[in-house]
Structure formats: C-alpha cells, structure tokens
A and B are shown apart, each in its own frame.
Chain A
Amino acid sequence: MTTTKNPSRPSLPIVENFTRRAAVKGAFATLGAGAFVAAISPLRQAAKNTTAAEFMQQHYTELSPEQKADVIARLEAETKEKYGADVTIADDRPIPGTKFVYAINLSVCNGNGKCVEACHKENNHDRDTNQSYIRVIEMPKGTMDMEKGSTTYTGTVPKDDKFYLPVQCQQCDEPPCVDVCPVKATWKEEDGIVVVDYNWCIGCRYCEAACPYHARRFNWKKPEVPAEEVNPDQSYLSNRIRPVGVVEKCTYCLHRTRRGKLPACLEACPTGARVFGNILDKDSNIRWILENKRVYILKEELGTKPAFFYYFD
C-alpha cells in the first residue's frame, strides 16, 4: 500500500508518485482494453451476418404492408445469397372463420416415421441433424405413461406389443409458451396457430422450457440445406429458413393450410392416421371425429387445451 493519510480528510488517502503511477495504470488499462477487443473479435464475423435492416426490424405485428414487402424481399435475397435457392416468401394470413384442429388415429398409426421425414423436407430443416417438428413415441400397449415410451426405436414397425404416439405442437388454446415469452415473439393467431416471429425472438428458450410437449426447437447452429433441396414455397411465419439462435415450431404448415391445402405430414402418412380440418365447419372431417370418436388430449391436467386430439377406434 502506497497510500498515506491526509489529516484533513482522513478517509481519502493522498497518493505519492501520482504521474508515474497514472502512466503505468493508463498503460495497463490500454493493454486490457486492447486484449478485450482482440478477445471478442469473433463477434465481427457474427456482425457481418446481421444487416442493419435486420437489426432494426420491428415486430411482425407492427410492420406496415410496405415494410413487410421490404422485409420479405430482403429475406428472399438473403436466401438466394446464402443458400443459392430462389424462393418465394409469402405472408399467409389466417382465413376468416377457420380454427385448425388435428387428430391422429392411434389404432392405425404404425410409427413408420414418414410424417417426420415429410416435416423435415417441407419445413427446410437442417439436413445434418434430421431436424423435424414431429417426434414419435413407441409405447407399450396398456399404458398412457410416456415414461414407458421410447423415441429412439428403429427397425420393423409396428411391433406387436406397441402402439405409436406422434407428438408435435398441439397449438394449445392456452399456450404456456406464449405466456412466458418476454418479448412477445410468439403468439396465437386467430385460426389457432401459435407462430414465432423468427426476426424478433431473442433466443432465451424460456418457451422451450414452458412447452409441455417438447414442441419447440432451437436453432443451435445455422441450418444447412442444399440449394436443390430447399422448399421454395415459403411463408414468413412458417417454413422460411430460420436464422441461427432463434426458436421455431410446428405451424400446421400454415403456408399450405392457409391456402386450403393439407399439412405435409398428413399427406405423407401412408396409414391415413392423420386428420386435419376446420373445427368451425360443421361438416368437416375433424368435427365428425370429435363428435363420434372417443378422443383424448395429452397432459390434460395441465390445462393447456390442445387443438390436437388422439383417438383409438
């Protein structure tokens, strides 16, 4: 300690050798700052991937139509530049008077995983990880306890003593994932689909912790899709190629379903176990199922009110 006491202000010692020490300290401070800049230099790489326009972009619900058009044009150009693919990104809005509901016939589902693959391709998931929004659990007959199930089964299906439970986003009517998001980056639209604004999400993964159905996926790295495999038919809120560091989820293929088409997983299902439709339409298939089959929902006790039903027949 090189400090001495000043009698007039006992609390504040006066320092000797002020200038020399100041110079040394300044040198060390500069050195430290320089080292810090060097240490965080990888950030420059990351900054290159984020344009100012993207950084400043407003929340989806606050974009004017012109801004939206600009954003979409920018995203299309970026996809061309980074993935070499020509894509069209639409902005599909809910069809008035629709509320989408899904149902799966577990007596029929044989766990072959074609839906998992269809989702992977349709939604431009990372090729490396075989990412998909659907996970199929192989369950022993006679229980509903997921703890006894396995998602890693392989080989010939169906096995005699098993049934198969595909799980994807249940588009809950009371979605815990939406409640917890600190920045309103995820919300429920009028047709019941819970969407994420990939350009607003900050990647805190709170929603991933809150979802009781393991429906959300985080982009741990930049998704890689070869140009010729990119599905060019895209939508802003669904299957456009997601940026790194944000959360994504099943959107009931809104880029298809909001144009009247069936979801990709349904079309791919060879067993016909999947049923999709508008529950507000009294004559719809889905309505008939809810009225005539004994349906159940997953984890009913949590009060999430899924728009996704299961039944046996």
Chain B
Amino acid sequence: MPRIANLIFAGVVCLIASMLLVAVWQSGTRANTHAAPEETPQVAQLPSEATTTHPVIIRKPSGPPRIELAGMDPQGRTGSVACSTCHAVRKPNLENVSAATLDEFHQGMTFNHGKIACYACHNPDDSDALRLADGKSVAYENVMTLCSQCHSKQAESFAHGAHGGMNGHWDLSRGPQMKNNCIDCHDPHAPSYPKMVVGFKPKDRFNAPLDDHQDHEGAESHDDH
C-alpha cells in the first residue's frame, strides 16, 4: 500500500499548497489596495482646488470684561462698569505677581499661571485692553494673540486643528467650522484644564453583574454545571 500512502501524502501536500497560493494571492490583493491611494494624486487635489467657500470661525470673547454692580443704585437700576472705572484713578502695581497680595476688589482670586506679573498681560495704560510683550496694546477680543506669544507651540497646533475643540464641517466647501478660543477652555488666571467627572460608561454585563440580566434565561446559570 505504500503507493496509496504516497498518493495521500501528495493530496495533503496539494491541499496545503493550494492554501498557500490563496495566502499569496491574498497578500497580492492587499498590496494592490495599499497602492491604490498613491495612484490617485490628481483626485487628491480636488478638495484643495475647490474654492473654500466657508470660513473657519474662531469664537471671540465679546470684549473687555464688565464688572456687575453688587447692589442697585437709589433709582433701583443695576448695571455694570468697566475695569477702567476704578483703574483710571489707581496707580498700577507693576511688581505684583501673586493673588495673595491683592486686596479690595480682587481679593481672594485664584492665580496660578507661572511667575508672570499681572501687568505682563493686562495693560497698565489702558485697563480695558491687554498688552503684548512689546508693549503694544491688544483688545480683549484678540486675546489669542496675547496667549500665543508664550504658547506658540499650542498656537501652531491650534492653527492646524490639533489643539482646541471644534464643531461643524471638516470639509469647508460644504460648510463652516467653528473653533473655540483659548479662554473658552483655559481660565487665563489658572489655565490648567479643569478636572472632570466621568459621566457615561458602557454597562457591560460583567460590569453590572446578575441583576442586570435577570430578564433572560442566562441569569440563573452562573454556577458551574
């Protein structure tokens, strides 16, 4: 019977060979799919050629902060005042670098933004605006210009969508994109991103044992059979 044994052995070899062929063919098709994107660079330019009709809208702060008045005036009116209302008559303390030394109105505020002084960012000459490192005044609306002086890496990432949240469209030919600005997420006086609490978790059956699936037959069966 050795001949038949040989035949059978040959059969097994053929089977394995045919499966190997499939494996090779398979990797061939894979290589093809991989190559496909590289073959279509012309198509690739389509989106950039298309006129970007829609803007990237970066949200801006509405303007310099206003201080809400605590009480009402004798006429019963509430209202708010600008920073300059008080600061016009006060001499700026250019040296101050900490919240601890603040008294009166700013007392008790949190400040945790490196070793910079208040007037590194606030403008001593115009308390309703900010100032850049070179002394140029910059409006509150453009606070991002100010932040970017130090945080250029983040600013660069932001410019390329790699920092900061966004909404809307990835494809500007179809719709606009809305982006946050720095102070939407970072409090400029304590800029580290706040802690959060996890609110939503998938409820796996193993996470919520037994009581969660009493409604079907599997429930009683957790003992070994």
Contact = CB atoms under 8 A, between A and B. Distances in A.
Touch between A and B in complex, CB under 8 Å? yes
A269 interface: yes
B174 A116 contact: no
Contacts of B180: 272
Interface stretch (A30-38, A60-68, A279-287): A279-287
Interface residues of A, number: 61
Contacts, number: 147
A135 B198 CA distance: 13
Main secondary structure of the interface of A (DSSP, over half): loop
Contacts of B202: 116, 120, 129-132, 135
Contacts of A174: 30, 33-34
Nearest to A313: B157
B161 A277 contact: yes
A226 B199 CA distance: 20
Interface in B36-94: 37, 40, 43-48
Contacts of A105: 162-163
Interface stretch (B12-20, B107-115, B189-197): B189-197
Contacts of A130: 200-203
A271 interface: yes
A157 B196 contact: yes
Interface stretch (B3-11, B95-103, B123-131, B164-172): B164-172
B170 A152 contact: no
A270 B196 CA distance: 10
Q: Max chain B CB contacts within 10 Å: which of A130, A179, A257?
A: A130
Contacts of B160: 285, 288-289, 292
A98 interface: yes
A285 B162 contact: yes
Q: Max chain A CB contacts within 10 Å: which of B48, B165, B207?
A: B165
B201 A120 contact: no
B185 to A, nearest CB: 7
B28 interface: no
B170 A262 contact: yes
A261 B44 contact: no
Interface residues of B, number: 44
B171 A278 contact: yes
B165 A272 contact: yes
Contacts of A108: 163, 193
B173 interface: yes
A156 B198 CA distance: 6
A293 interface: yes
18 contacts: A97-B44, A103-B162, A114-B200, A117-B199, A129-B204, A130-B202, A130-B203, A135-B202, A154-B201, A156-B195, A260-B173, A260-B175, A266-B166, A275-B162, A277-B170, A278-B170, A280-B40, A286-B161
List 8 tightest A-B contacts by C-beta distance, closest first: A260-B174, A285-B161, A260-B171, A280-B44, A117-B200, A97-B43, A272-B165, A288-B160
Interface of B: 26, 30, 33-34, 37, 40, 43-48, 153, 157, 160-171, 173-175, 177, 180, 185, 193, 195-204, 207
Interface of A: 95-99, 103, 105, 108, 110-114, 116-117, 120, 128-132, 135, 152-158, 173-174, 179, 188, 257, 259-262, 266-267, 269-272, 275-278, 280-286, 288-289, 292-293, 305, 313
Given A110-B193, A117-B199, 7 more contacts: A111-B198, A112-B198, A154-B201, A173-B34, A267-B165, A277-B170, A280-B40
